[in-house]
Amino acid sequence: MAEKIIPDIVVSRLPLYLQALEYLQKSGKTITSSKELGAHSDISAAQVRKDLSFFGEFGKQGSGYDIAYLYSEISRILNVDHVWDVALIGSGYLGHAIAHYPGFVEHGFRIKYVFDNNPAKIGQELGGHIILSSEKMVELIKKDGIKIAMLTVPSRVVQEVADQLVQAGVKAILNYAPVPLIVPEGIRVETVRPILQLEHMTYYL
């Protein structure tokens, strides 16, 4: 039997539902509806129901969704029901902020290593980690089987570093440089582009 193919746009909305469910849990609620879940995700109730239907039946008509159960199921679907080790490459201003941000650990992403190629930074402490030389990056990532990396390096070297990460066995890269990465099939890349989002917003001002 062929594996069901889930549209990527559907997968991209699941973290929004997870975030909304977390907020509702912290508000003390135990049951929610597709309308309420959609309101907290800026998505229509019909779309919420359609998205969730790709993965099974999680609620009953008239009684809504059990928040704790749905949160657990979406966490499982997204593979965030356990802790992922992450390699952070680049310890500049952005890397510094990421290394100190507690939200990653709270949501199952633990920075295991911080790498940099600046000799002046190597050996310094950053967010509870000792900054390591980029020369050790491939060896250590491969040894520990790390599958996720965050790239906060300059645009001029980001493709070169991405190639090394692929060589090390990384399967998912969160790229903060405004450069589209070229990677082999099977490697997932997400690029954070705040300038594009700002330009999108200014259209409406």
Structural domains of the chain, with CATH: 8-77 (1.10.10.10), 84-196 (3.40.50.720)
CA distance 105 to 109: 5
CA-based max dimension of the chain: 62
Q: Is the pTM of this model over 0.85?
A: yes
Q: Which DSSP letter does residue 170 get?
A: -
CA distance 132 to 128: 13
pLDDT tops 70 at residue 62? no
- Give pLDDT, residue 83: 93
* Beta strand extents in the chain (DSSP E only): 31-32, 59-60, 64-66, 84-89, 109-116, 125-126, 129-133, 148-151, 172-175, 188-191
- Give pLDDT, residue 4: 74
Residue 59 banded pLDDT, cuts 50, 70, 90:
low
> In the predicted model, what is the mean pLDDT of residues 12-33?
95
Angle between helices 8-26 and 67-77 (to 10 degrees): 140
Q: How far is CA 92 from CA 107, 112, 117, 151, 184, in A?
A: 23, 17, 11, 11, 27
Residue 56 banded pLDDT, cuts 50, 70, 90:
confident
pLDDT tops 50 at residue 1? no
pLDDT tops 80 at residue 9? yes
Contacts of 48 (CB under 8 A, 6+ apart): 17, 34, 37, 38, 41
Within the chain, how many helices (H) and strands (E) appear?
A: 9, 10
Residue 75 banded pLDDT, cuts 50, 70, 90:
very high
- Give pLDDT, residue 57: 83
Q: What are phi and psi of 86, to 5 degrees?
A: -130, 140
pLDDT tops 50 at residue 67? yes
pLDDT tops 60 at residue 2? no
Residue from 161, 49, 160 nearest 115 by CA: 161
Q: What are phi and psi of 36, to 5 degrees?
A: -70, -40
> In the predicted model, what is the mean pLDDT of residues 17-25?
96
